[in-house]
Amino acid sequence: MYYTRLIVECDSEFIEILIAEVAETGFDTFQETTNGFEAFAEQDQYDRDLLEDIQKRYSQLDPLRFEFSRIEKENWNEQWEKSFEPVIVEDKCIVRAEFHKIDKDYPYEIIITPKMSFGTGHHATTWLMLKLQMETDHAGKRVMDAGCGTCILSIMAEKRGASFTDAFDIDEWSTVNGKENFENNSCSKIRLRQGTVRTLAFDENFDIILANINKNILLDEMEEYSTHLRKTGTLLLSGFYTTDVQDLVKRAEEFNLKFERQIEKDGWCAMVLSKI
Span 211-262, pLDDT tens digits? 998 888 999 999 999 999 999 999 999 988 899 999 999 999 999 999 999 9
Instruction: Kindly tell me if the per-residue pLDDT of 116 is higher than 50.
Output: no
210, 144 Cβ separation under 8 angstroms: yes
d(CA 239, CA 222): 14
pLDDT tens-digit series, residues 193-206: 999 999 999 999 99
For the beta carbon of residue 254, count every other beta carbon within 10 angstroms: 10
Instruction: Kindly tell me if the per-residue pLDDT of 115 is higher than 80.
Output: no
- Find the DSSP H helices in 9-69: 15-23, 48-57
248, 226 Cβ separation under 8 angstroms: no
d(CA 87, CA 102): 11
More confident residue, 153 or 103: 153
More confident residue, 218 or 120: 218
Q: What CATH topology corresponds to 2-82?
A: Alpha-Beta Plaits (3.30.70)
State which amino acid sits at residue 132. Answer: L
Instruction: Kindly tell me if the per-residue pLDDT of 31 is higher than 80.
Output: no
Phi, psi of 201 (to 5 degrees): -105, 145
d(CA 83, CA 95): 14
d(CA 199, CA 205): 15
pLDDT tens-digit series, residues 46-100: 999 999 999 999 999 989 999 999 887 655 555 555 566 788 999 999 999 887 8
The pLDDT, as a whole number, for residue 44 is 80
110, 156 Cβ separation under 8 angstroms: yes
Q: What is the CATH code for 84-275?
A: 3.40.50.150
The region that residue 197 occupies, defined by phi over 0 for left and psi between -120 and 50 for alpha, beta otherwise, is alpha
Mean pLDDT of 128-154: 96
Instruction: Kindly tell me if the per-residue pLDDT of 129 is higher than 80.
Output: yes
The pLDDT, as a whole number, for residue 75 is 55
271, 237 Cβ separation under 8 angstroms: yes
142, 49 Cβ separation under 8 angstroms: no
d(CA 259, CA 275): 9
> Exposed, middle or buried by CB within 10 Å (0-12, 13-18, 19+), for 93?
buried
Q: Where are the domains of the chain?
A: 2-82, 84-275
